[in-house]
Amino acid sequence: MELIDSHAHLDAGQFARDLPQVLERARQRGVKYIITVGTDLSSSIKAIEIASRYPFVFASVGVHPHDADKVEGTTLKKLGELARQPRVVAIGETGLDYYRNYSPRPKQQQLFRQQIKLAKDTGLPLIIHQRHAQDELLAIMDKEEGWEGGGVMHCFSGSQQYARQCLEKGFYLSFAGNITFPKTTLLRVIARETPIERILIETDSPYLAPQSYRGRRNEPSYVELVAQKIAELKGLSVEKCGKMVTANLQRVFKLE
């Protein structure tokens, strides 16, 4: 079995006591790669530190839209320095979140544009977060030519049309544990319609555990349950699905 976790937050406090054991369980389940994702400067630094200790873990650096109003004058410069570290394979988690609105929308938009520019300057793909902001996100990506370097729509949410638009622009869609929830029918329809060559799987751990672990801490080994659901939707064996999404991750993050 080959699996991936294209989006986890291994720096989270929920893993402070047993991260080595968590990662060993992931390896035992066949997880070949994990991308641990930064959400601010501190977590980006921690992501790089973790990736430097575990050969199958890579890092992304970025500032989440929730923290857009906390960005200081030197933040983008420091982020640019981190982005050039050898274990860093992406810029993100960046994007727009109009569901929580923890930061003012204009600041989210400005920060998103700045991180698109950083991705272009460094040649790294984007890891994008989007909630209730489809039209604005697409408009910014078009205007800033953010599609050029490729990337992934993390923990995909949105309409079928939005999914098609992202795919047409060359991006990958990543599906998480919520695809196993009883009420996420549309998400399963979108996954079924998405070519397997453009799908990634993730846990977003320690958050968003699959249905059978719902309410508990999520961890990378549980990505097997996401793979099982994708395989079921695509009419593939779990082994075949795992190999294909692993190849997809190698391609988008240039890990060949």
CATH of the domain at 111: 3.20.20.140
* pLDDT the model gives residue 108: 98
Taking alpha carbons only, the member of 157, 187, 152, 158 closest to residue 171 is 152
Verify cis geometry, omega within 30 degrees of 0, for the bond prior to 220: no
- What burial class does residue 14 get, using C-beta atoms within 10 Å of its C-beta: 0-12 exposed, 13-18 middle, 19+ buried? middle
**What pLDDT is recorded for position 151?**
98
Q: Is the confidence at residue 256, as pLDDT, over 80?
A: no
At 73 the pLDDT is 87
Each residue of 182-230: pLDDT tens digit? 999 999 999 999 999 999 999 999 999 999 999 999 999 999 999 999 9
**Spatial contact of 113 and 75, defined as CB atoms under 8 Å apart:** no
Residue 101 has pLDDT above 90, yes or no: no
pLDDT digits (tens, 9 = 90+) for 26-82: 999 999 999 999 999 999 999 999 999 999 999 999 999 999 999 998 999 999 999
Buried b (16+ CB within 10 A) or exposed e, 92-130: bbbbbbeeeeebeeeebbebbbbbbbbbbebebbbbbbb
Q: Which domain holds residue 227?
A: 3-252
| Tokens found for residue 134 | 């489809």
Query: What's the structural domain count of the chain?
Result: 1
Alpha helices in the chain (DSSP H): 19-28, 41-53, 75-83, 105-122, 134-143, 160-168, 185-193, 223-234, 238-252
Strands 172-175 and 31-37, by their bridges, are unpaired
Decide: 127 and 62 in contact? Cβ < 8 Å: yes
Token duo for residue 7 = 């989006």
